[in-house]
Amino acid sequence: MPTWLIGVLAFVGVLAVLVIAGYLMSSHSPSSAKDTAKQATNPLQKDLEVVGVRIVSDGQAVKFLVVNHSGVEMTDLVANVTLWSSTQRSDEDSVGSFTFHADSIPPNSSKELTSPLKTEKKGFELPDWHNITADVQVSSQPQ
């Protein structure tokens, strides 16, 4: 075989490998897996937010606002919340977690709630309110 033909075939082979690798990485990336998981969650998930988290009673409880961003009333809502330090590095443990139940949250409004905090950290190890992010997972179906 001529040298130029070997070079062209090698170039096409490397290009094919790169295209296939790019396709596989984009279709199986962590963000795609995360998007798929979000599609399988409760339909109210995208309209619910937990903000204003304040750890009180030396780490025994949390006060927070549950915000309903939708145009429909949310009733008998149960959700699990995991608190993270604002860095939320993948090698970092969560700050703690809690579960809440809200009987009713009117459309486009919020409700202040208090729940016990489950954490293994001591009060002085917990971050300040401005260094906390909340990851909410709705666990009950809307009615």
The stretch 11-27 carries a mean pLDDT of 84
Cα first-last separation, the chain: 72
pLDDT at 141: 54
Per-residue pLDDT at 81 exceeds 60: yes
Per-residue pLDDT at 143 exceeds 60: no
If we measure between CA atoms, which residue out of 42, 112, 52 comes closest to residue 83? 52
| CA 19/CA 106 separation, integer angstroms | 50
pLDDT at 90: 54
| CA 26/CA 20 separation, integer angstroms | 10
CB 45 within 8 A of CB 78: no
Beta strands 132-138 and 109-116 are unpaired
Q: For the ranges 40-54, 82-96, 99-113, which has the lowest average pLDDT?
A: 82-96
Please count the other Cβ atoms lying within 10 Å of the Cβ belonging to residue 75: 13
